[in-house]
Chain A
């Protein structure tokens, strides 16, 4: 039963999703209402999101378990593991504090959530934590949780609501991601250099085709060849490359279809434990 129930659930959910895919779209002109299959599909998607959220906790547990064990074992990479765990929990705590600012004790808000600033048209600045906006003005609290007098909208020049979470994201995380991505340029050059060495007839043809495509792609290359590179490049891309791409895509699509059918019909079970 441990194996049959997951397979049965897979088959039922799979068939429901397939039914929703083929169900007709609502059409008021022809009197077609949203089908029950589409409603079920939407509900299943919500269930899927809940499962993913729960699984995310598993991921955090995995990170903590593996890294704590290595820290305890005095692994040579221990400093990196400590940085990882401290960063992860610091970001988590700051993010949660910002999300639940109104429900937290004032001293936690003062420590974890940066104060907001309202710049007035008369040049003064009001510091505190913005609680929201009414039709007439902005409501704020001070560091002791006391409500400040409502600030009328017409007196406000600018509202600054700094976020520690977003600061970390944009000032640290985004540049680090960009750094990783920029490595791609160098790796493209090194991989291309190896791939384009003319060691055989095939690699020589690849080298020639690559050279023509590169010349055709950039204005200077096209200018150097008197405008002849671009049409040749377009011919290569539109005929040889597209034909090969479509052949691979058709083969891949059939593989996807076959595997999908096997899973939906419960024939493919090797991804489940026994």
Chain B
């Protein structure tokens, strides 16, 4: 049991930085049996974000139009599938190299469903090589559902959802083989990528395919930007389904992200000002240290 006597007392007033610091110590101590003190700010931030998200969704569902700026990379998805259809060649969809527990891979499955719907509408085969057996099972369902969404369940070809290998470069070599042998006219890379990103994108470029890539992994973005025709980066990646479907609840999520970004900018400005104004060589709590403890 926690020693209640040892609990730090609440301050008498919250008019100084020291008072606020003492108040945070007291709250952290009392919440410690129920929640990790260093995660309290994270929990509060998530609750606030969720509230903004639900409010934005309600607003969007009421019919208030929430504009989304034009994203060339997403418009290019239809163009790529159309081109493959004209050329009578398949579309290759690579869902990244991470496991299904990675949120980018889950999101890739949502995008895959939309792409599969389009390919089914156009009667174009879609090939989905996967690096993980669980991802393969999800990809099968996404493509099956996409074909059903298009009213063409017969367009689903189970043999086109392929498990290649759990090893990174064996998977990479397998995809390169598909590019050389089956000559897809459109390569779509959506998900989490590592060192194989540039190998895949350059192989696809050499094959003459139109290429659209999407990831929020910063390290691989330059590779895709250099080798692909269109790149969806960072937050744009998580806006794909909202942009393509215009479903109010999804569009509301995009707006929530924007509201939080504005709030984050305001917090940055205040934090920078407090850090700049903090007295040099201060030994006790300052407003800057309190602020850093709250939002840092």
List residues of chain A with CB under 8 Å of any chain B CB. 21-25, 27, 30-32, 48, 51-52, 55-60, 62-63, 65-66, 69, 77, 80, 173, 176-177, 180-181, 183-184, 187-188, 190-192, 194-195, 245, 247-252, 254-263, 265, 267-268, 270-274
Q: Are A248 and B226 in contact (CB under 8 A)?
A: no
A52, A60, A260 pick with most chain B CB within 10 angstroms:
A52
Question: How far apart sit A23 and B32, CA to CA, in the bound complex (Å)?
Answer: 9
Interface residue? B126 (CB, 8 A): no
Interface residue? B193 (CB, 8 A): no
- Contacts A22-B39, A248-B221 given; indicate if A77 touches B181 (C-beta within 8 A): yes
- Interface of B, helix, strand, loop or mixed by DSSP: helix
Interface residue? B36 (CB, 8 A): yes
7 nearest CB pairs, A to B: A255-B238, A251-B235, A59-B133, A252-B216, A180-B169, A248-B234, A59-B163
Question: How far apart sit A48 and B101, CA to CA, in the bound complex (Å)?
Answer: 10
Interface residue? B154 (CB, 8 A): no
Within 8 A of A (CB), among B161-218: 161-164, 166-170, 172-173, 177, 181, 195, 198-199, 201-203, 205, 216, 218
Q: Are B46 and A261 in contact (CB under 8 A)?
A: yes
Q: Are A259 and B107 in contact (CB under 8 A)?
A: yes
A267 nearest in chain B by CB position: B249
- Give the total number of A-B pairs whose CB atoms are below 8 A apart: 184
Q: Are A180 and B133 in contact (CB under 8 A)?
A: no
Give the residue of A56, A177, A261 whose beta carbon is less than 8 angstroms from that of B170.
Answer: A177
Interface residue? B49 (CB, 8 A): yes
Q: Which residues of chain A come closer than 8 Å to B256, judged between CB atoms?
A: 258
Q: Which residues of chain A come closer than 8 Å to B32, judged between CB atoms?
A: 24, 27, 30, 32
Q: Interface size on B (CB < 8 Å)?
A: 79
- Contacts A55-B134, A255-B237, A256-B238 given; indicate if A22 touches B35 (C-beta within 8 A): yes
A56 nearest in chain B by CB position: B133
Q: List 19 A-B contacts (CB under 8 A).
A: A24-B33, A24-B35, A24-B37, A30-B3, A31-B2, A52-B133, A55-B136, A58-B137, A58-B163, A62-B163, A183-B199, A184-B198, A249-B234, A250-B264, A252-B234, A252-B235, A254-B238, A255-B237, A271-B106
Q: Which residues of chain B come closer than 8 Å to A55, judged between CB atoms?
A: 132-134, 136-137
Question: How far apart sit A188 and B249, CA to CA, in the bound complex (Å)?
Answer: 41
Question: How far apart sit A268 and B132, CA to CA, in the bound complex (Å)?
Answer: 22
Interface residue? B118 (CB, 8 A): no
Stretch at the interface among B17-25, B79-87, B138-146, B272-280: B138-146
Q: Are A22 and B202 in contact (CB under 8 A)?
A: no
- Contacts A32-B2, A59-B133 given; indicate if A187 touches B218 (C-beta within 8 A): no
Q: Are A22 and B233 in contact (CB under 8 A)?
A: no
Question: How far apart sit A146 and B78, CA to CA, in the bound complex (Å)?
Answer: 69
Give the residue of B106, B148, B202 whose beta carbon is less than 8 angstroms from that of A187.
Answer: B202
